[in-house]
């Protein structure tokens, strides 16, 4: 099943680094397609915030001459949220710890996004 | 004059890397406080998009348990927009080229943001 394959990609992604706390695949209209979230993290909330950030990020990239949006990163004092386009119809959202090694995480996300793009 | 000092910090920041195309200091309500932008890049547009991204970034960081917002990064196929809090009342927005070395730029922005926070 396709949803099992998507969940499996997220499990591998979360397992690739102890810095990754959670991940999800969200359609560009904000609906969750697959998720590997810890207890207490709400799917709908992750989906809604991901879609809203991607929509505004897309507009910002266009308005400021940066072309088609590829990724939005949010850094807070308690960690990161990284939203990355996986093809045109889906976004992979990763929630990571404050001291995460961004270079490694970006690489793992890029690979996961390529795999996801083939499935959605 | 304080506005000259802010502009001078931006000039130094833009000069620190050829990857930086433009920079500006925006109040958290979206008004431009200082800017070093190339011809054809609109101040009001940079201010408005920065304030909108920061506002939604702040909400996203809160909703997904990342704490107080520090930075938002947007990656497009034609480059980056990096928005970084400089104290609580201002944001420094940097627009950079697609192949920019993010590690170096983050370091330069962090130093500029610390200097700006002392002035605003």
Contacts of A69 in chain B (CB under 8 A): 74-76
Q: State in Å, rounded, how far the first CA of chain B is from the last one.
A: 12
Strand partners, B93: B24, B83
Residues A26 and A33: beta-carbon distance below 8 Å: yes
Q: How far apart are CA A39 and CA B120, in angstroms?
A: 41
Residue B1, pLDDT score: 80
Residues B32 and B50: beta-carbon distance below 8 Å: no
Pick A57's closest partner by Cβ from B61, B66, B74: B74
DSSP structure class, residue A107: H
Quick one: average pLDDT of A67-72?
A: 96
User: B77 and chain A: CB distance < 8 Å anywhere?
Assistant: yes
Name which residue leads in pLDDT, B47 or A28.
B47
- Say yes or no: ipTM exceeds 0.85: yes
Tokens of A17: 């680094």
Taking the CA of residue A80 and the nearest CA in chain B, the distance in Å comes to: 7
Q: How confident is the model at residue B100 (pLDDT cuts 50, 70, 90)?
A: very high
Per residue in B28-54, pLDDT (tens digit) is: 888 999 999 998 899 999 999 999 999
Q: What percent of chain B has pLDDT over 70?
A: 100
Tokens of A10: 């997220």
Quick one: average pLDDT of B94-107?
A: 95
Quick one: average pLDDT of B97-120?
A: 95
């Amino acid at each position: 099943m396709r949803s099992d394959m998507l969940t499996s990609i997220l499990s591998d992604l979360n397992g690739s680094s102890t810095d990754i706390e959670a991940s999800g695949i969200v359609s560009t209209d904000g609906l969750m397609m697959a998720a590997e979230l810890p207890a207490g993290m709400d799917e709908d909330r992750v989906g809604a915030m991901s879609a809203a950030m991607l929509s505004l990020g897309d507009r910002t990239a266009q308005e400021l001459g940066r072309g088609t949006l590829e990724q939005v990163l949010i850094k807070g004092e308690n960690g990161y949220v990284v939203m990355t386009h996986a093809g045109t119809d889906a976004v992979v959202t990763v929630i990571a710890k404050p001291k995460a090694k961004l270079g490694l995480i970006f690489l793992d996300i890029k690979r996961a996004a390529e795999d996801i793009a083939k499935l959605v």
